[in-house]
């Protein structure tokens, strides 16, 4: 694997989840694979989990690790071409990238959306420049539009905590409700996973919800026999948000969009909360903006009443989370909350991805 941005880069998810469980059983199994190989992690934005879990993953594989915080000690980097650099940026990314590439074997990139130029963000301009000019395999640690290490960890977590019931056709279902329409006591034949928008005081990127939708829908398409012999993991995947926050269909095509949050929550087995700013799909002029004063949107905060509409759902969030905005204390602290095992699985997803990249390098050397 030379690049990790989208779910398709991992190929067969059944295989990827098996590798995740293999790593979970023994996270040092491949501790020689990364010997004398150096990972460079480049951060244009803050991080706690990605920084720690990806470094830990690299150490599990025997790699050396260098971390560069671009905004804390490096020269300020210009990312756009064609500008006269007479401002505060001392170096251009197009020189910095090949230089960084000369000191390492693999590069991880965190570079959030600027949220001002949709075309620039959705073209993944910065990530593709690293791909093109570093000469090394690269992977996303949340780029402008995606956060695949998070979505992979979320999929691992859902697999681990799924009610895992065989779907009527024995298959892996996705999209709207199960074909037979069964909802016995709120529990359908397949787990219902709901991605819900929640309020936040700052404009946040769409990367996390984009990837979560992309991975859930692909998991559906691949008919994964998760949970053992003869069992299927179906996903009834629903997205709920106020009007105007429609995500890019490149990520969500095939999902059920339900504007009524209560209806969306009914019978849910997993509630995945996240804030995102306007994706500029139905309202291009509002790309990257917060559409309403958050004080008016507090009824979207996931609280105990919201959770009472569900099938005793697990609560998920990628973290960092603002309590009292996205979720209340009691919901995030409840035994059904998965935020800590979800974050712990970031080490597992990163180990699998780095292992794949290192195996690719090894094969290229043979
Ligand atoms: C970032 C985001 O929403 O994309 C990172 C989440 C992993 N969150 C914040 O900036 C608070
Ligand atoms: N979930 C996540 O990526 O967290 P950090 O921003 O702390 O890395």
Report pLDDT for 169: 40
- pLDDT for residue 172: 39
pLDDT above 90: residue 73: no
CB atoms under 10 Å from CB of 260, counted, come to 9
Give me 190's structure tokens.
Answer: 């397949």
- Is residue 171 within 8 Å of residue 223, measured between CB atoms? yes
What's the confidence (pLDDT) of residue 174?
40
pLDDT tier at 221 (50, 70, 90 boundaries)? confident
Coil, strand or helix at 140: strand
Nearest atom in ligand 2 to 141's CA:
3
Ligand 1 lined by 208 (C-beta under 6 Å): yes
48 lines ligand 2 (CB under 6 A): yes
Q: Is the pTM of this model over 0.85?
A: yes
Q: What does the pLDDT average to over 101-130?
A: 97
How many Å apart are CA 103 and CA 115, to the nearest integer?
A: 31
Mutational test site, ligand 1, from 44, 46, 112, max ligand atoms within 8 Å of CB:
112
Q: What are the two backbone dihedrals, phi and then psi, of residue 190, each rounded to the nearest 5 degrees?
A: -130, 155
Position 175 scores a pLDDT of: 38
**C-alpha distances in angstroms, 361 versus 19, 63, 256?**
18, 13, 40
Rounded distance from Cα 102 to ligand 2 centre (Å): 27
Residue-wise pLDDT tens digits, 167-200? 444 333 343 333 333 433 333 467 889 999 999 9
108 CA from centroid of ligand 1 (Å) = 17
The torsion defined by the Cα of 243, 248, 253 and 258, in degrees rounded to 10, comes to: -20
Using DSSP's 3-state secondary structure scheme, residue 19 falls into helix
Tell me the pLDDT of the chain averaged across its residues: 91
Alpha-helix residue ranges (DSSP H) falling in 236-323: 249-252, 261-265, 304-308
Q: What is the mean pLDDT of residues 334-342?
A: 98
Q: Is 207 in the pocket of ligand 1 (CB under 6 A)?
A: yes
Helix (H, G, I), strand (E, B) or coil at 92: strand
What's the alpha-carbon Rg for the chain, to the nearest Å? Answer: 21
Res. 315: pLDDT tops 80: yes
CA distances from 233 to 193, 240, 345 (A): 11, 22, 19
Q: Is there an atom of ligand 2 within 6 Å of 45 CB?
A: no
Render pLDDT for 21-53 as a digit per residue (tens, 0 to 9).
999 999 999 999 999 999 999 999 999 999 999
For residue 257, the cross-strand partners are 239
**3 state SS of 109:** strand
Tokens describing residue 263: 């209806």
Average pLDDT over residues 211-233: 72
């Amino acid at each position: 694997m030379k690049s990790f941005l989208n779910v398709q880069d991992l190929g067969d998810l059944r295989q990827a989840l098996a590798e995740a469980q293999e790593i979970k059983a023994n996270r040092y199994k491949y501790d020689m694979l990364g010997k004398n190989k150096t990972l460079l992690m480049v951060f244009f934005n803050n991080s706690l989990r990605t920084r720690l879990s990806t470094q830990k993953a690299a150490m599990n594989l025997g790699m050396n690790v260098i971390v560069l915080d671009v905004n804390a000690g490096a020269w300020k980097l210009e990312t756009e071409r064609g500008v006269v650099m007479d401002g505060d940026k001392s170096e251009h990314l197009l020189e910095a990238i090949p230089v960084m590439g000369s000191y390492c074997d693999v590069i991880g990139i965190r570079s959030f959306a600027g949220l001002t130029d949709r075309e620039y963000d959705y073209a993944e301009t910065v990530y593709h420049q690293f791909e093109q000019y570093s000469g090394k395999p690269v992977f996303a640690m949340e780029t402008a539009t995606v956060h695949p290490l998070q979505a992979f960890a979320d999929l691992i977590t859902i697999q681990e905590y799924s009610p895992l019931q065989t779907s009527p056709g024995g298959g892996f279902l996705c999209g709207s409700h199960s074909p037979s329409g069964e909802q016995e006591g709120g529990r359908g034949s397949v787990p219902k996973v709901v991605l819900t928008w929640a309020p936040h005081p700052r404009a946040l990127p769409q990367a996390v919800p984009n990837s979560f939708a992309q991975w859930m829908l692909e998991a559906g398409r691949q008919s994964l026999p998760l949970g053992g012999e003869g069992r299927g993991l179906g996903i009834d995947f629903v997205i709920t948000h106020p009007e105007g926050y429609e995500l890019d269909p490149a990520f969500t095509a095939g999902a059920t969009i339900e504007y009524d949050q209560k209806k969306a929550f009914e019978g849910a087995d997993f509630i995945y909360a996240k804030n995102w700013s306007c994706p500029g799909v139905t309202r291009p002029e509002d790309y990257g903006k917060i559409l309403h004063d958050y004080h008016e949107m507090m009824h979207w905060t996931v609280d105990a009443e919201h959770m009472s509409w569900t099938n005793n759902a697990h609560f998920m969030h990628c973290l960092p989370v603002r309590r009292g905005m996205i979720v209340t204390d009691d919901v995030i602290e409840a035994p059904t909350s998965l935020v800590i095992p979800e974050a712990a699985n970031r080490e597992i997803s990163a180990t699998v991805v780095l292992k794949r990249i290192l195996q690719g390098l090894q094969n290229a050397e043979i």
